Structure formats: C-alpha cells, structure tokens
Amino acid sequence: MVSRTRFDDSDCPVARSVDAIGDWWSLLIVRDAFDGSRRFGEFQRSLGVAKNILTTRLRTLVAGGVLASVPASDGSAYREYVLTPKGEALFPVIVALRQWGEQHFFAPDEPHSELVDRRGGHRLRVLEVRAEDGRRVGPEDTTVQKASEG
C-alpha cells in the first residue's frame, strides 16, 4: 500500500513526485536530512512528530529510494537514515520552498533559519527558471505539452 498512487494523472512528473514523497512530514524529514539529521531520534525531536508516524514515513522514504537505512556511523548497532542520490536531487525543491517562504511569510527583519553557502557564509541566489537559450522565463512564458516522448 505504500505505492498505491493517490493521484491518477500520473503522466505528470509533478504528480509522481508528490506521490513519491508521500506527505508534508516526509518533505520536512528530507529537509532535516539535508540539515544533517540521520538518527530516528534526531528527526523525532526536530519535527515533534509522533513516533509511529515517523516510522511509517521513514519506511516510505526508504522504500521510495529517497532515504537509505545504513549502519550507524558511530559504530553502534543502531541504524541511520541518509539521503540517496535521488534524495539529494530534491535539493532544488527544498531550496525553492525555502525561498518562497522567506519572501512571503517573514517580515524583512524577522529572524528565521537561513540556508547559507559554507564558503563565505552568504545566502544563496534566488532560483531562476531559464529556457534552453538562457533567457529567464516565468509561468506566462511556458506551456505544458501533453505526453510526447523526448
């Protein structure tokens, strides 16, 4: 039942992505994973989510190939959850959500957590959607083509 799709327009990559992630908790788990969380307890304390929910979400993410369950790095018998390459590829998604939140839900001087470049410690550039030729494009410059193979 992990893989039962909730969204039937599954030729749309957005719908498949949404279905693969599962729910918002899962996305916040991924965010925490980017932030360095690896252990069950770390995710649980950071998110404040119920443990049974966290259990199922971690399992879903592992089943979906976003996280992998590996032996703990400190040599203990516990396991850790780390991002797979597929999970790391969610980086732009998280960054986009973060930037949207920064721009629309915080007063200019309101403190909030920040994602910064390790080198220099500066904020990141705002994501830009670009056409093949490098032009910046917005929603009105694009259109969706249905199901043609590339």
Footprint on residues 3-42 left by a copy of itself (CB under 8 A): 6-9, 11-20, 23-24, 27-28, 31, 34-35
> Is there binding between residue 18 and DNA (CB under 7 A)?
no
Query: Considering Cα of 40, then 43, then 59, then 85, what sign does the dihedral take?
Result: negative
Near a copy of itself by CB under 8 A, which window of 50-58, 70-78, 135-143? 135-143
Alpha-carbon span 30 to 44, nearest angstrom: 13
Of 43, 34, 13, 20, give the one whose Cα is nearest residue 124. 34
Minimum Å gap between C-beta 40 and a copy of itself is: 17
Provide the residue count of the chain: 150
Beta bridge partners of 36: none
Q: What is the DSSP letter of 126?
A: P
> Is there binding between residue 2 and a copy of itself (CB under 8 A)?
no
> Is there binding between residue 82 and a copy of itself (CB under 8 A)?
no
State which of residues 2, 53, 72, 129 lies at the interface with a copy of itself (CB under 8 A).
129
Minimum Å gap between C-beta 77 and a copy of itself is: 27
